[in-house]
């Protein structure tokens, strides 16, 4: 086989997955039908949890100075996200084109083979591998790989060729997105509802504004037959706001809809889906890009372990088991937000009620946890006895023999991490058989204000994706013990445990 994994699509999801797979030792070819990046930036930032995912791999410095804001929203209703630990909505003002450039550079440096101008035309899952036919600048080529992952967006060719079901609700309306120049617009926060629709305007730089235009009663078009024009965007803006922007221009224009769909399964044999190829939804809170990145981080280490031969039975199936419910929740909450900020006058009572509810801290925490993705927690079944199990491990200062360090920095090389918080030789002995896959670090966590989710645990096992596989006090072998967790997530111990 030419490679271990073929990734189709060089957007944020595909590039993040390529880098993750390379960290795990898998050979990767990325196929991208576009010869060059579009330069368009539908997304302008990422959620707090996506920031943490980038930080786990040491990528945040590559983005330069990141702007975060304590203010976020749910359905256009603003509120303060400082009720959450960390206290911000996520990174803002980062064009998607910059995110893609950062991830492409990282993936290429890691050894991923990125091939632009290569468009998938056919694929066959042969049971022992996947064979594809690809249009390239030099003609049709065939490639083979052990696995193939579709990260090729909402109109995914992989999803269609592999026969994945994609149930959901069809689009009922079309909305516009553009970066406009020379219009002199005043800022309008997302969710500004007017009789003819909803609009947003935000400055991107000198003379450039990002606008979103959601006119009422605009049916979705077939973009292949009638591409969107700036004239239509300007017409809709004037109809809703009364402001004439026809004298300006646009760097680019695009459209989106309220279609909501999710693949019934994220894996069929040796073909998998991630990102928009697996789920599409109304954009709300910048969650699409961030969810795709987290799909990639969940899948990458698992697929690499399977290819290395160190994965326990069923590890790859946990990708669907963990990420499908996250996608399902995403579709539910983005539809709810759409009802709030696109519902017009009929939704005014709902907006008023939501405005009242977000005055309560418990409501703020709940909604902020959803949109930031910090509330994502995986069901680990009987192994999830400690309240931290299945949740993300927030960055904590670790005080050890070598000095101070952050727990997030321990995940740079995408291996498991076992925190020995009680300086217990028994913990280190238990983990010795997995030393090629799990780093054991002894130290104590610096105290934090308020409730400490690690309380009661003298050891914490963290997966390469930053989620806690097990936490507690080591004891006898049992279904919920540390050795059982090590086997469940990292396979059988090695023969050399010295």
Model confidence pLDDT, tens digit, residues 35-94: 998 877 777 889 999 999 999 999 999 999 998 888 888 988 989 998 988 778 888 888
Contact 447, 453 (CB under 8 A): no
- Please count the other Cβ atoms lying within 10 Å of the Cβ belonging to residue 230: 17
β 3-8/139-150 pair status: parallel
Average pLDDT over residues 13-17: 98
Least confidently predicted of 133-142, 199-208, 229-238: 199-208
Predicted confidence (pLDDT) at residue 322 exceeds the cutoff of 50:
yes
Task: For residue 197, give the H/E element and its range.
Answer: strand 197-205
The reported pLDDT for the residue numbered 498 is 38
Contact 85, 394 (CB under 8 A): yes
- Please count the other Cβ atoms lying within 10 Å of the Cβ belonging to residue 465: 24
The architecture that CATH gives domain 174-258 is 2-Layer Sandwich (3.30)
The CATH T-level fold of domain 381-490 is Glutaredoxin (3.40.30)
CATH superfamily label, 3-169+261-372: FAD/NAD(P)-binding domain (3.50.50.60)
Average pLDDT over residues 370-388: 86
Tokens 């997530």 belong to residue: 489
Least confidently predicted of 124-138, 304-318, 324-338, 479-493: 479-493
- Please count the other Cβ atoms lying within 10 Å of the Cβ belonging to residue 456: 12
Structure confidence by residue, pLDDT tens digits, 169-213: 999 999 999 999 999 899 998 778 888 999 999 888 889 999 999
- Report the length, in residues, of the chain: 498
The reported pLDDT for the residue numbered 479 is 60
The reported pLDDT for the residue numbered 189 is 85
b/e for 247-269, b at 16 or more Cβ within 10 A?
ebebeebbbbbbbbbbbeebbbe
In terms of C-beta density within 10 A (0-12 exposed, 13-18 middle, 19 or more buried), how is residue 451 classed? exposed
Structure confidence by residue, pLDDT tens digits, 395-420: 999 998 877 889 999 999 999 999 99
To the nearest whole number, what is the mean pLDDT of the chain? Answer: 92
The rounded Cα 237 to chain-centroid distance in angstroms is: 31
Residue 283: both structure tokens together: 């954009």
Residue spans per domain, the chain: 3-169+261-372, 174-258, 381-490
The reported pLDDT for the residue numbered 478 is 58
- Please count the other Cβ atoms lying within 10 Å of the Cβ belonging to residue 425: 10
Structure confidence by residue, pLDDT tens digits, 429-442: 999 999 999 999 99
Contact 73, 202 (CB under 8 A): no
Residue 319: both structure tokens together: 């990708």
The reported pLDDT for the residue numbered 477 is 60
End-to-end CA distance of the chain: 35
pTM for this prediction? 0.95
Task: For residue 495, give the H/E element and its range.
Answer: none
Structure confidence by residue, pLDDT tens digits, 99-113: 999 999 999 999 999
Number of helices and strands (H, E) in the chain? 11, 28
β 174-181/168-169 pair status: unpaired
The reported pLDDT for the residue numbered 165 is 97
The reported pLDDT for the residue numbered 497 is 42
Average pLDDT over residues 358-373: 94
Predicted confidence (pLDDT) at residue 384 exceeds the cutoff of 70:
no
Q: Give SS3 for 181.
A: strand
Structure confidence by residue, pLDDT tens digits, 245-299: 999 999 999 999 999 999 999 999 999 999 999 999 998 777 899 999 999 999 9
């Amino acid at each position: 086989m030419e490679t271990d994994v073929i990734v189709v699509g060089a957007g944020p999801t595909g590039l993040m997955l390529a880098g993750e797979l390379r960290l795990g030792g898998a050979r990767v070819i990325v196929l991208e039908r576009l010869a060059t990046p579009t330069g368009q930036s539908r997304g302008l930032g990422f959620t707090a949890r996506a920031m943490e995912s980038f930080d786990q791999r040491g990528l945040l410095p590559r983005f330069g100075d990141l702007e975060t804001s304590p203010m976020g929203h749910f359905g256009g209703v603003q509120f303060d996200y400082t009720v959450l630990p960390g206290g911000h909505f996520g990174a803002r003002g980062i064009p998607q084109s910059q995110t893609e450039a950062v991830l492409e550079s990282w993936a290429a440096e890691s050894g991923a083979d990125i091939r632009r101008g290569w468009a998938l035309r056919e694929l066959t899952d042969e049971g022992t591998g996947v064979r594809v036919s690809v249009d390239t600048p030099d003609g049709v080529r065939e490639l083979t790989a052990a696995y193939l992952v579709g990260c090729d967006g909402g109109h995914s060719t992989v999803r269609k060729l592999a026969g994945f079901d994609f149930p959901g609700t069809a689009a009922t309306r079309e909305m516009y997105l553009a970066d406009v120049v020379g219009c002199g617009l005043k800022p309008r926060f997302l969710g500004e509802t007017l009789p003819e629709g909803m609009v947003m305007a935000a400055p991107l730089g000198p003379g450039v504004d990002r606008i979103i235009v959601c006119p009422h009663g605009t049916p979705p078009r077939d973009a292949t037959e009638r591409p969107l024009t700036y004239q239509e965007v300007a017409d809709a803006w004037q109809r809703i706001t009364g402001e004439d922007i026809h004298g300006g221009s646009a760097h680019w224009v695009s459209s989106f809809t309220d279609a909501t769909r999710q693949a019934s399964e994220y894996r069929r044999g040796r073909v998998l889906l991630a990102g928009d190829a697996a789920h599409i939804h109304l954009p709300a809170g910048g969650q699409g890009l961030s969810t795709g990145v987290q799909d990639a981080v969940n899948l990458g280490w698992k697929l690499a372990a399977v290819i290395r031969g160190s994965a326990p039975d069923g590890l790859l199936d946990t990708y669907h088991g963990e990420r499908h419910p996250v996608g399902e929740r995403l579709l539910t909450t983005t539809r709810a937000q759409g009802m709030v900020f696109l519902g017009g006058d009929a939704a005014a009572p709902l907006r008023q009620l939501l405005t009242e509810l977000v005055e309560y801290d418990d409501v703020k925490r709940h909604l902020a946890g959803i949109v930031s993705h910090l509330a994502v927690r995986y069901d680990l079944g009987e192994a999830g006895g400690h309240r931290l199990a299945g949740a993300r491990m927030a960055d904590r200062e670790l005080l050890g023999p070598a000095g101070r360090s952050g727990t997030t920095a321990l995940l740079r090389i995408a291996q498991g991490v076992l925190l020995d918080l009680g300086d217990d030789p028994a913990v280190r002995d238990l983990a010795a058989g997995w030393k090629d896959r799990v780093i054991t670090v002894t130290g104590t966590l610096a105290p934090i204000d308020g409730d400490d989710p690690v309380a009661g645990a003298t050891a914490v096992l963290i997966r390469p994706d930053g989620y806690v596989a097990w936490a507690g006090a080591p004891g006898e072998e049992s279904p919920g013990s540390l050795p059982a967790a090590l086997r469940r997530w990292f396979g059988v111990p090695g023969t050399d445990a010295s």
